[in-house]
A and B are shown apart, each in its own frame.
Chain A
């Protein structure tokens, strides 16, 4: 009885952890998509008009970044400050190019600024594509583990 209860608890913990991990990963991915969209928005606003940064930030919208609390900081204090607050669930390695870009943002002249935005957008696009490609495989593993846990619980209960 105690053993069954232990297995039940472990299985529930495993199931919960895997679902939380999956949710977290989806959230991170949505936020990364948001950052990628922000760079595209910056790039086109700088190239076409060019607007000052505060106006570019004010016209940008993204639900995932808003939910993460990133957008209000971006609009008040700028990109470097928003990236330094750790409000997005993206690993440090993936955020590093955005941080490097943000450090010089606004200090570069037109052509240099355009080039920097284009380079970052290309790099972010590659990262995003790799992330999205790896996602089904990772989701498959978590789904399998969850199902195994669930089956184990079911077996014990029967």
Chain B
């Protein structure tokens, strides 16, 4: 579904190449995780395999016009209106598809960056909706917060999306969607969707005004770890995700230490292997 959604946005020769490639290699379309265009370099596909991304180079080389017109099509023909998103390097384009953008920047006075040209476009397709059954069962049977981890492209957001839908059938859920990438159209969910809020601020507002039983946060970064750790006093269970390859290293990441020390999370959840790793007492080993 997602690949067929983005194909019309791509330059026609690249569309053809991807079609031919998926046909020739019998590569399941649902396993394609990224389509990447680079100015002056070959395009590539990233395929999700055994929890890791592998790259398949294609022959299409994007020029300036191809990059510009692809971006323009992705944003409905008004590229100039997406300056902020371009600067943040990221833009949700619907149905869970995310567009990563990098290019050439100049630094203005005051440290502000200004992008002068786009060089790379990455269409990141959502993983096929994973089953959140195991995670939800574990959540129901355990106490404390759960921190999901996987490397970039490992399916954290997709799992959180599936989990949010499951949990919101039973509990009042507040979802802090800073990057506006959760697409949850079902009207019957007990879900409050806070779009665009910075994580810590959004979580604080949600707790104060929406009295959620569960807070869901995607991709908690080092910069907001300390602020989020203070929310533990509110006593609301939290399920969040973080970039990380393995639990050991994650626990040793100094920037995340406040989160573990606060007791906000009782368990780490390995997304690739769909299994929990209890945190040592006190959170830090």
Contacts and interface: CB of A to CB of B under 8 A. Distances in A.
Interface string B83-125: 1001000000000000000000000000000111110000000
Given A106-B72, A107-B72, A108-B68, A52 B114 contact: no
Contacts of A54: 76-78
Given A107-B69, A107-B71, A107-B72, A51 B114 contact: no
Contact of A109 (B69, B76, B77, B118): B118
B103 to A, nearest CB: 9
Interface in B65-80: 65, 68-69, 71-72, 76-80
Interface in A73-92: 78
B79 A113 contact: yes
Contacts of A110: 80-81, 83
B79 to A, nearest CB: 6
A132 to B, nearest CB: 31
Interface in A106-153: 106-114
B149 to A, nearest CB: 35
Contacts of B77: 52-54, 78, 106
**Interface band, chain A:** 10 to 19
Given A107-B68, A109-B86, A52 B115 contact: no
Contacts of A95: none
Interface in B245-261: none
Give the one of A110, A112, A114 with max B CB within 10 A: A110
A54 B81 CA distance: 12
Contacts of B69: 107
Contacts of A50: 78, 80-81, 83
Give the one of A104, A107, A110 with max B CB within 10 A: A107
